[in-house]
């Protein structure tokens, strides 16, 4: 859904709609953060739609960098702590809660690192091979290490939680990330969001099933 301006806006609108439906399925306050994940996915996609606009049409150039920063804050800063926080709030197993606290701390650390990078180094979005590539001046020496911590913080909570079927979201996220890394390595930040709609549907299913019970 990040292959063109239209796809980003349409995809974002669809995901936002799923997000609204998901929030309506909340029946416990502890589920609210988890239910908001699709809504944030949608906002992220819409932000990238404005990046497309700014890159393709000089008339909308003013949208380019603000939308770029909104997108990267969502993609790099937000998800590393959002996932462990959302899972932790719903988890009732005390032993697993301790692990989730550690993962949340890791996620917050990754988020702070990206906040520093986004505010310090140059970022240049460009269209390449029907995708948006974000050319970032971040330190290359620790890039893989930070990315590893990012994946651990954002994926591991979905596999250790006792919440029923939440591991399916983890599998989908892991597979989608793997596919993106193999086939679209240079566009990982952008293309991975293509799978946001599928993940959002799984979240809706999890909450709807939980509400029935």
> What pLDDT sits at residue 175?
81
Domain range list for the chain = 5-212
**Between these two residues, 52 and 209, which has the higher pLDDT value?**
52
Q: What is the pTM of this model?
A: 0.86
Distance of alpha carbon 152 from alpha carbon 162, whole angstroms: 17
How many helices (H) and strands (E) would you count in the chain? 10, 2
For 181-186, what is the mean pLDDT? 64
What is the overall mean pLDDT for the chain?
87
> What pLDDT sits at residue 212?
58
Distance of alpha carbon 160 from alpha carbon 163, whole angstroms: 9
pLDDT digits (tens, 9 = 90+) for 87-125: 999 999 999 999 999 999 999 999 999 999 999 999 999
For 3-7, what is the mean pLDDT? 76
**Proportion of the chain in helix, strand, coil states, percent, rounded to 5:** 80, 5, 15
Residue 114 to residues 12, 91, 126, 136, 164, Cα–Cα distance (Å) = 24, 27, 20, 11, 32
Tell which residue, 204, 191, 201, 200, has the closest CA to residue 7. Answer: 191
| 188, two tokens | 């990982």
Distance of alpha carbon 152 from alpha carbon 80, whole angstroms: 9
On whether the CB atoms of residues 191 and 131 are closer than 8 A, the answer is yes
> What pLDDT sits at residue 117?
97
Distance of alpha carbon 200 from alpha carbon 35, whole angstroms: 9
pLDDT digits (tens, 9 = 90+) for 126-160: 988 777 889 999 999 999 999 999 999 999 999 99
> What pLDDT sits at residue 211?
61
Cβ atoms < 10 Å from Cβ of 42: 24
Q: How far from the centroid of its chain's Cα atoms is residue 191's Cα?
A: 11
Q: Degrees (nearest 5) of the Cα angle 105, 146, 177? A: 100
> What pLDDT sits at residue 138?
94
């Amino acid at each position: 859904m990040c292959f063109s301006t239209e796809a980003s806006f349409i995809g974002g609108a669809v995901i936002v709609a799923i997000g609204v439906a998901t929030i309506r399925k909340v029946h416990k306050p502890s589920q609210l953060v988890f239910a908001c994940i699709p809504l944030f996915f949608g906002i992220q996609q819409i932000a990238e739609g404005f990046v497309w606009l700014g890159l393709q049409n000089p008339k909308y150039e003013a949208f380019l960098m603000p939308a770029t920063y909104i997108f990267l804050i969502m993609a790099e800063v937000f998800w590393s702590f959002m996932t462990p926080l959302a899972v932790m709030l719903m988890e009732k197993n005390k032993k697993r809660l301790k692990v989730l606290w550690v993962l949340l701390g890791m996620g917050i650390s990754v988020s702070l690192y990206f906040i520093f990078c986004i505010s310090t180094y140059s970022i240049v979005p460009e269209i390449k091979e029907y995708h948006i590539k974000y050319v970032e001046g971040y330190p290359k020496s620790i890039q893989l290490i930070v990315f590893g911590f990012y994946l651990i913080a954002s994926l591991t909570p979905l596999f250790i939680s006792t919440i029923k079927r939440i591991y399916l979201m983890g599998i989908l996220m892991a597979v989608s990330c793997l596919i993106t890394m193999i086939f679209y390595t240079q566009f990982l930040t952008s293309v991975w969001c293509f799978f946001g709609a599928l993940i959002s549907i799984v979240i809706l299913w999890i909450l709807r099933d939980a509400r029935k019970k």
